[in-house]
Amino acid sequence: MSRVGGAWFEGDLPGGRQFVDVGAVSLERGGHLPEVRLAYETWGQPDPDGSNAVLVLHALTGDSHVAGRGGPGHATPGWWDALVGPGRPLDTDRWFVVAPNVLGGCQGSTGPSSTSPDGHPWGSRFPFLTVRDQVAVEARLADALGIKRWALVAGGSMGGMRVLEWAVGYPDRVAAALVLAVGAAASAEQIGWGSAQLLAIRTDPCFSGGDYYEVGPGTGPTVGLGLARRIAHLSYRCEPELAERFGRQPQPGEDPLGGGGRFAVESYLDHQADKLVRRFDANSYLVLSEAMAAHDVGRARDGVAAALSRVTALTMVAAIDSDRLYPPYQQDELARLIPTAGPLVVLSSKHGHDGFLLETDAVGGLVTQLLERVGRRRPSCCSA
């Protein structure tokens, strides 16, 4: 099979990944997967009853590698590394931290690049997923690990969608929830941003209808995926930051004014695109983006307000003040409608939507507050 993009394939170095087979899955919109495997990573040790377990959920192009260095098996360092480890907000001397790669992803969990029962990659045949499907599979992971109730479920953006689905769909299995930088349902603008990205991938001449894995060495929609990343990254950041960092400066040594060179901001976007192409799969980008567009916690639950009224977990909702992709008014709605949520927390960041990933001191403080309020503490004699 051709090595296209950055998908993890069977036989690659596993790094910190572990795997669990959860069986066949019938999907919300009528699709079916005859066998599903989830890749996940863990830190710390579970209590005998699993009551110290924390679930951390990644965003669109994240994966299970929340903490640790990059290296064999992992293209990048942990995306919330500052939060996980001894003495950190998710103190692994106390908490058992679990992070799955989402269903439909490309880093070890069943997704479009995975081998189907006929021995060929799923490719274009991979079925449509919803966030609800992804969480249903994560519930099976919890069952396999013997975890009846999470002390905390936390995540931002697409991860925040899954936090909401956990809290609404499995209220008895979530003690506390941290919802970051997301809304109750995808908005028209968010769907619009995503549609431009999907079109960029699908119109790449090397997309081959989604069945590019076996076409030949070096093929695949890398140009389209890179363009999708450029579009997305502009929505992840905010205009004041881009103005401050780049302004109208040319890329050093290049002349964008008639000389065929680039502005500095263009070089920055090129760099972001190149990084993603090396570690992600275009089909997974499509599948996960479509699941995000379908996100609506109120679907088939009598609307958003009725759905959120089901939440019993101690909940904290946080917004990023400079977020133009998931603006704070959407988190304000969540905080008002979730009966167990306190006032909306607004984090200050110059980084836009990506603030939920980059403002680790502030996010870590929220994690600490929630875990303290849950009241889960080991006796001091048992702490490292």
**CA–CA distances in Å: residue 304 to residues 190, 311, 337, 371:** 17, 12, 8, 27
Catalytic residue among 65, 74, 295, 353: 353
Residue 272: what pLDDT? Answer: 98
In angstroms, rounded to a whole number, what is the distance separating the alpha carbons of residues 54 and 177?
A: 10
In angstroms, rounded to a whole number, what is the distance separating the alpha carbons of residues 71 and 362?
A: 28
Residue 216: what pLDDT? Answer: 63
The 10 Å CB-count burial string (b at 16+, else e) for 189-211 is: ebeebbeebbebbeebebbbebb
* Whether residue 157 lies in the annotated active site: yes
CATH of 192-289, one of 3.30.420.140, 1.10.1740.110, 3.30.300.130, 3.90.25.10: 1.10.1740.110
* Whether residue 351 lies in the annotated active site: no
In angstroms, rounded to a whole number, what is the distance separating the alpha carbons of residues 38 and 179?
A: 23
CATH of 18-188+297-382, one of 2.60.120.380, 3.40.50.1820, 3.10.510.20, 3.20.20.80: 3.40.50.1820
DSSP string, 168-188: HH-GGGBSEEEEES--SB--H
* Whether residue 118 lies in the annotated active site: no
In angstroms, rounded to a whole number, what is the distance separating the alpha carbons of residues 336 and 333?
A: 5
Q: What are phi and psi of 318, to 5 degrees?
A: -130, 140
CB atoms within 10 A of CB 382: 9
Residue 383: what pLDDT? Answer: 35
Q: Which residues of the chain have pLDDT under 70?
A: 1-4, 216-218, 376-384
Query: What is the residue type of 141?
Result: L
SS3 content of the chain, % helix, strand, coil (to 5): 40, 15, 45
In angstroms, rounded to a whole number, what is the distance separating the alpha carbons of residues 177 and 151?
A: 9
Smallest CA-to-CA distance from 332 within 348, 350, 322, 345 is with 345
In angstroms, rounded to a whole number, what is the distance separating the alpha carbons of residues 339 and 349?
A: 27
Catalytic residue among 113, 157, 235, 322: 157
Could you tell me the pTM of the whole model? 0.95
Residue 376: what pLDDT? Answer: 52
In DSSP terms, 90 is beta-bridged to 84
E strand spans, 181-239: none
In angstroms, rounded to a whole number, what is the distance separating the alpha carbons of residues 245 and 89?
A: 30
| Local structure of 276: helix, strand or coil | helix
In angstroms, rounded to a whole number, what is the distance separating the alpha carbons of residues 183 and 167?
A: 14
Smallest CA-to-CA distance from 158 within 54, 244, 232, 211 is with 232
Residue 186: what pLDDT? Answer: 98
The 10 Å CB-count burial string (b at 16+, else e) for 214-228 is: eeeeebbbbbbbbbb
Catalytic residue among 204, 281, 323, 354: 323
The full set of domain ranges for the chain reads 18-188+297-382, 192-289
Q: In percent, how much of the chain has pLDDT > 90?
A: 92
